[in-house]
Every structure is written in C-alpha cells, then in structure tokens.
A and B are shown apart, each in its own frame.
Chain A
Amino acid sequence: TQLLEQSPQFLSIQEGENLTVYCNSSSVFSSLQWYRQEPGEGPVLLVTVVTGGEVKKLKRLTFQFGDARKDSSLHITAAQPGDTGLYLCAGTSGTYKYIFGTGTRLKVLA
C-alpha cells in the first residue's frame, strides 16, 4: 500500500516567518502535486513536479521533488495570513489513482 506521510501535522507561526512542509513515502511516484484547501472547499492545485530533483517556485512558495521521486518539500518564505490553510501532497505512480498525504494544517498569525 502506498502511503504519503506529511510533517508537521500542525504548524502555527507568526507572519514573516519561514516554514517547510515535508511529504515522504517509501514508494516512487511518477509525479507529485501540492494542493491548498480552505475549510469547506475542495483542494486547489498549487503545483505539479515530475522530474527527480526538480524545483519549482510560485511567488513565495518553493517546491522540490526528491532525487529518487519518493519525497517532496514545500517551503514558504515570509509567510502571510493568506497562506493559512490545509496543505496536501498527492502522488501518482502510473495508475489513474492519486494517493494523498496526511495533510499539514498551517496557521499564520498576523
């Protein structure tokens, strides 16, 4: 069974601080996505990474796919209250299924 473990599970930080969220698995994924979800809404796609070692930047967010394509990280620089939400990673591995991570709930305090 493929599993994606995210850490930390909860994170509460002050505005302006930096943070990193990790997504780890013992399985290899052909691609990995990061989503952000607001309460009562569906997840919204942030980025997809497909190549081992790939780094993508989206404004203050930096995403990295591990060299072995088993893990990924999301780094937020100078966090803002608008970054508050549930962050989810999801992996695919040659089937039509998306395996979702356990989620990281981020709260950024003004």
Chain B
Amino acid sequence: SQTIHQWPATLVQPVGSPLSLECTVEGTSNPNLYWYRQAAGRGLQLLFYSVGIGQISSEVPQNLSASRPQDRQFILSSKKLLLSDSGFYLCAWSVGGEVTEAFFGQGTRLTVV
C-alpha cells in the first residue's frame, strides 16, 4: 500500500533563517506531488506541483521554492523565512498520469518568530 511521510510535524524558525521541509511517498512510482499551505480552519492554497523528477510548477509568487530530486521525494525550501511564511504546510500525492484522488501527509506546522 502507498504511504506518504512528511516531516517535521512542527517547526519554529526565526525570521531570516532557511527552511527545508521534506516529503516522501512509498509504494508507488512516478506520482504527481503537491505542496499546499493552509490558513487556520480554511481551504488549501496550492503552492507547487510536480509531475516528474525535476519538473516543478509554481502557482503563486512567493518566498518559497520546491525541488524534486528523486521520483518520490518532494522538498519545500526557503533561503530566508518571513513572518508571513507561518502556516500549516501539507504535502500530497496522486497517481501519475491521472487526475483522481489526492492523498495527504500529516502536515507541518511552521511558526516563524
């Protein structure tokens, strides 16, 4: 069966520090991968998605970047965090080549202080 791992679960970082959130998927090949950010109690904003290694599509201009160094690994990064980067970050995957259901990781609560 497929599983998705996202870490860390919580993170407190000072303004101006770098960020690296990692997400890995097991049990499937060539998945579509996604990074979302969620405001408290609200819907999800798509940040990045990837349909293959090295292929990254950005949805909104921001202080963040994403990379996919391996087929089942998706990384969300920032060189210098801003206070406005605080939020709940979710990684998700779906079956490659199809647009069906998306399955989510447990999320990372990022607080920039």
Contacts and interface: CB of A to CB of B under 8 A. Distances in A.
A98 B106 contact: no
Interface string A66-110: 000000000000000000001010101011111111110100000
Contact of A98 (B42, B102, B107): B102
Contacts of B59: 97
Contacts of B90: 42-43
Interface centre among B32, B100, B106 (most CB of A within 10 A): B100
Interface residues of B, number: 27
Interface string B1-31: 0000010000000000000000000000000
B105 interface: yes
B49 A41 contact: no
A98 B66 CA distance: 18
B86 to A, nearest CB: 15
B64 interface: no
A45 interface: yes
B49 A33 contact: no
Contacts of A95: 99
A103 B49 contact: no
Given A97-B49, A102-B42, 11 more contacts: A30-B99, A33-B101, A35-B104, A42-B106, A45-B101, A45-B103, A88-B44, A100-B36, A100-B44, A102-B43, A103-B43
7 contacts: A31-B99, A40-B107, A43-B44, A96-B49, A98-B46, A100-B44, A103-B43
